[in-house]
Amino acid sequence: MVQYLHGYNTQEQQRLIDQAGFLGPLIYPSVDFSDCKNLLEVGSGVGAQTAVLLGLFPELRITSVDFSEAQLAKARENLSGFSDRVTFVNQDVQYLDLREKFDAAFFCWALEHISDPQAVMHRVKSHLLPGAKIHITEVFNSTFYYEPASPALAHYYRVYNQQQRNFGGNPDVGAQLGNLLAHAGFKQIQLSRSGFHLDQSQPDELRGFIEFWKMLMKSGAPGLLDTGAISQNEIDAMESDLDGILADENAVFFYQFVQAKAMA
């Protein structure tokens, strides 16, 4: 059985759509596939990013790969209006095997779940034409910082990240993107960071990101309850701590993710 931090229930599938909309303004300023025709999307989920890419780049055809048939079924439903521009493939990208070669590749929040990200970078590179563009967005969970001290949030976050490691993933894989691309032979590697640094000078943004963070944290809750790693009381306490940050006059809420662009 596949072990996956966020699970595949309908609430999680909707969260991915909401997340793509909410974080879009942070993710997409560095994405440019306007001169590309044929894009490989790795770990495409329910097609939340696929929809954004199709909208931004009307010339693009996309092959979306995910190893969850449940996600792909939802993606087909979500993107039913684009059947001429999207192909769905059910494969584990660690063993990616397609006949086609692509002039672009896109990853968003996928590599963090994969036990051998280097193998994936090699596999993807072998499916790209010389000069193809790649764009990756990934977590760097060790950058999460907040004030005031919030012990229940700190505990939950530790357990959440440990679950990802136990399932073979890496919650800090964003920090490794440059190395992964370089070792796979990509050139012109450019790294950048995005995310949020919020406090009471921007109360509305602070509220929005705290609500987003609650949903993100709770996406791991069913799996954490299943393995007995966390109790319902601890989930409730984590949420109360986040409300406590929002109410604190000296609140700080900070997180950075990493983006990488390169050429095959």
Q: Which is nearer to ligand SAM, 202 or 212 (CB)?
A: 212
> Distance between CA atoms of 14 and 40, rounded to whole angstroms?
23
Q: Which is nearer to ligand SAM, 125 or 199 (CB)?
A: 125
The H or E element containing residue 233 is: helix 232-247
Please count the residues of this chain forming the interface with ligand SAM, following the rule CB under 6 A: 22
Q: Report the amino acid identity of residue 10.
A: T
User: Does 49 engage in binding with ligand SAM (CB under 6 A)?
Assistant: yes
> Distance between CA atoms of 89 and 66, rounded to whole angstroms?
7
Among positions 32, 92, 205, 234, the unique one binding ligand SAM when judged by CB under 6 A: 92
User: Does 68 engage in binding with ligand SAM (CB under 6 A)?
Assistant: yes
Cα 179 to chain center, whole Å? 19
Q: Which is nearer to ligand SAM, 109 or 157 (CB)?
A: 109
Among positions 40, 43, 86, 140, the unique one binding ligand SAM when judged by CB under 6 A: 43
Q: Looking at 61-69, 141-149, 186-194, 228-236, which segment touches ligand SAM (CB under 6 A)?
A: 61-69
Query: Of 47, 49, 50, 69, nearest to 2 (Cα)?
Result: 69
Interactions with ligand SAM, residue window 12-41 (CB under 6 A): 16, 20
Q: Tally Cβ neighbours within 10 Å of residue 35.
A: 10
Q: Is 204 exposed, middle or buried, given 0-12, 13-18 or 19+ CB atoms closer than 10 A?
A: exposed
Question: Do residues 264 and 130 make contact, with C-beta atoms less than 8 angstroms apart?
Answer: yes
Among positions 108, 136, 238, 242, the unique one binding ligand SAM when judged by CB under 6 A: 108
Q: Which is nearer to ligand SAM, 72 or 206 (CB)?
A: 72
Q: Which is nearer to ligand SAM, 79 or 110 (CB)?
A: 110
Tokens 């010389």 appear where? 130
Among positions 71, 163, 176, 259, the unique one binding ligand SAM when judged by CB under 6 A: 71
> Distance between CA atoms of 120 and 188, rounded to whole angstroms?
19
Tokens 């012990």 appear where? 151
Binding region for ligand SAM (CB under 6 A): 4, 6, 16, 20, 43-45, 48-49, 65-68, 71, 92-94, 108-110, 113-114
